[in-house]
Amino acid sequence: MGSLQIFSVLFFSLFLAKCCYSKEEYFVQCLSKYSEINITQNIYTPGSPIYSSILEYAQKNPRWLNSSHPNFIASPKEESEIRPVILCSKKTGLQIKIKSGGHDYEGISFRSESPFVMLDLGNLNKIKIDLKEETIWVQTGATLGQLYYAIAKKSKVHAFPAGVCFSVGTGGIISGGGLGALMRKFGLAADNVVDARVMDVNGKILDRKMNEDLFWAIRGGGGASFGVILAWKLKLVRVPEKVTVFTIRRELEGNLTLLRKWENIAHQLPEDLFVRAFVQKGVFSAGNDTKNHVGFYIQGQYIGPVDELIPLLNQYFPEFNLERKDCFKENITADAEKECFEVPWIRSVLYFSWRNPNDSLEVLLEKSIPTHKDYHKGTSDFVKTPIPESGWEMVEKLFREEERPQMVFEPFGGKMYEISESEIPFPHRKGNLYTIQYFVSWDDNSESISSQKIGWIRKLYKEMEPYVAKSPRSAYLNYRDFGLGTNEEDYSYSKAKIWGEKYFKGNFERLAKVKSKVDPKNFFRSEQSVTPYQLSY
């Protein structure tokens, strides 16, 4: 057979392969071509027995449980299995959505308008600690709970500054910034990343030395816009063997002076003291009807023993009336006016996640599917000047209209003010008193109820506009909100900049330029992915 005939046969075979196989069949065949091992055993379709359970676990916010389903779920057990998924998704026109933990307010990691593969990194959760170097390598499928647990098993005097919800995945929270109870002392999670391994759009693994611009972008710029983050190298921080955590509960009515005092000085406190505030229904009922009762509570952590904390609180917040003996009581009720515990750092993690600090540490490793479906919507703001009394009165009025509203206020200052706006993509530094997370949840996910709840939080967000940061009104990427704007079909930079500057301010342009270099054809994309730096795609 002549060379021309051989070429014709090969060409016809490729033509038949593309014409006679579905996109799904061609994807599976492609995986075999690019894999040295059989990775299809970790690829699941809607007909696979465990497909539904993987998807359900992924959706920590189940609002979109039936809105869209991936054509495939890829759950690799080795990093090498990811390269074929990327290459074959490109060849077959499938998008990739990357999930590490699943705490994803808008469902970007597990839903899409286009056919897609959900890349579930949950099996990539290896952790390697070097106490001599005081660093840790963690694969991005590991949760914060797994990370914290591993640190605590190795050391009583080391920690890592990241989020307070331990079921969050390290891949997502660190790439979005990573606010947490230790940030005033040590900065964000992303501020404490010293290296990373990232697989790019061509299946090549890069580290910090190979691409410093990419390393800058993924620490707060949202990693899924640029590639697949495989692992982080993190800098451990030193903490004392005992830290002190406490909560003070009050009714909002009659105690507004205390809340306003908190917002004026929380960012000025010593950096070892982190004191955040919440406003919600039913905090401290005091015999009132919880349906209409609006309360607040103040929750704090001091990086040190109670004997050091009490003098500080007497100096800054004598209104708390917290005494040493309060920190060693047993059988405290859930609505007690005050509570306090002196515990190892790892048990403060349990406390900030609404667990008893004396619970088994194995709780941190839980990966079960919740039986109760909690549908929710969140968004965020940053505050540069204290909210006047009229603003708080508006908040209380709107809270009385809703069943399960919540606002979370987390103070800055300390280390957060020492780092420049451009050090990493997260720009919200000096000048911000605190950040607000708005949150509403509900049990009935019918369209009418969901629309009502989302309408309420939109109303609150609009009413807060006079009191928050402006030009632009800013937001935190990890509390992602499509209401700020989304990419349109052309994925133009000029349109993406409208919402992008709310998350990243002036850093959005640099992020877009990094995107142009590492993913110029915009393969890794979503409704709020960073777009290449050009007028249109």
Q: State the pLDDT at residue 66.
A: 66
Q: Which helix (H) or strand (E) holds 244?
A: strand 243-251
> What phi, psi does 187 have (nearest 5°)?
90, -170
Cα gap 11→34, rounded to integer Å: 20
The CATH number of whichever domain residue 68 belongs to comes to 3.30.43.10
> Looking up tokens 């999930």, which residue turns up?
99
297 phi/psi in degrees, rounded to 5: -140, 155
- At 32 the pLDDT is 87
Do 142 and 234 lie in one domain? The reply is yes
Of 479, 493, 503, 533, the active-site residue reads 479
Instruction: Evaluate whether residue 465 is within a structural domain.
Output: no
Q: Are residues 98 and 139 in the same domain?
A: no
Residue 407 belongs to some domain of the structure:
no
The answer to whether residue 232 sits within a structural domain is yes
- Looking at residue 60, what is its pLDDT? 77
Exposure letters 437-454 (e unless 16+ CB within 10 A, then b): bbbbebeeeeeeeeeebb
CA-closest candidate to residue 179, choices 478, 521, 507: 478
Q: What is the CA radius of gyration of the chain?
A: 24
**Are residues 166 and 86 located together in one domain of the fold?**
no
Give dist(CA 507, CA 419) in Å, integer. Answer: 14
Q: With 0.95 as the threshold, say if the pTM is over it.
A: no
**CATH code of the domain containing 175:** 3.30.465.10
Instruction: Return the SS3 of 437.
Output: strand
Cβ neighbours for 458, distance < 8 A, ≥ 6 positions apart: 483
Residue 308, judged by CB atoms within 10 A of its CB (0-12, 13-18, 19+), counts as: middle
Q: Clarify whether residues 96 and 178 are in a common domain.
A: no
The pairing of strands 95-99 and 116-120 is: parallel
Query: Is residue 207, in this structure, part of any structural domain at all?
Result: yes
The predicted pLDDT at position 360 comes to: 96
pLDDT at 372: 74
Pairing of strands 116-120, 72-74: parallel
pLDDT for position 293: 84
* Residue 265 CB-density burial (10 A; 0-12 exposed, 13-18 middle, 19+ buried): middle
Whether 479 is a known active-site residue: answer yes
C-alpha 534/C-alpha 537 separation (Å) is 7
What does the alpha-carbon distance between residue 246 and residue 327 come to, in Å, rounded to a whole number? 8
Measured CA to CA, the distance from residue 533 to residue 340 in angstroms comes to 51
Q: Identify the pLDDT of residue 24.
A: 83
- φ/ψ region of 124 (left if φ > 0, alpha if ψ in -120 to 50, else beta) reads beta
Last residue of a domain, one of 96, 120, 144: 120
Q: How many CA atoms lie within 13 A of 35 on its CB side?
A: 23
Residue 319: strand, helix, or coil: helix
Choosing from 238, 272, 305, the residue where a domain stops is 238
- Of the candidates 241, 280, 307, the residue with the CA atom closest to the CA atom of residue 402: 280
What's the total number of domains in the chain? 3
Identify the domain containing residue 173 by its residue range. 127-238
Residue 10 placed within a domain? no
Residue 173 lies in a domain: yes
Task: Verify that 100 and 193 share a domain, yes or no.
Answer: no
Q: Is residue 49 part of a domain?
A: yes
What's the token pair of residue 122? 């949950």
Q: Do 94 and 134 fall within a single domain? A: no
CB burial of residue 91 (10 Å; 0-12, 13-18, 19+): middle
Q: Is residue 269 part of a domain?
A: no
Residues of the chain where predicted confidence (pLDDT) is lower than 70? 1-21, 65-66, 283-291, 331-334, 535-537
Q: What is the pLDDT of residues 387-444, one digit of tens each?
A: 999 999 999 999 999 999 999 999 999 999 999 999 999 999 999 999 999 999 999 9
pLDDT digit string, tens, across residues 211-254 = 999 999 999 999 999 999 999 999 999 999 999 999 999 999 89
pLDDT at 36: 77
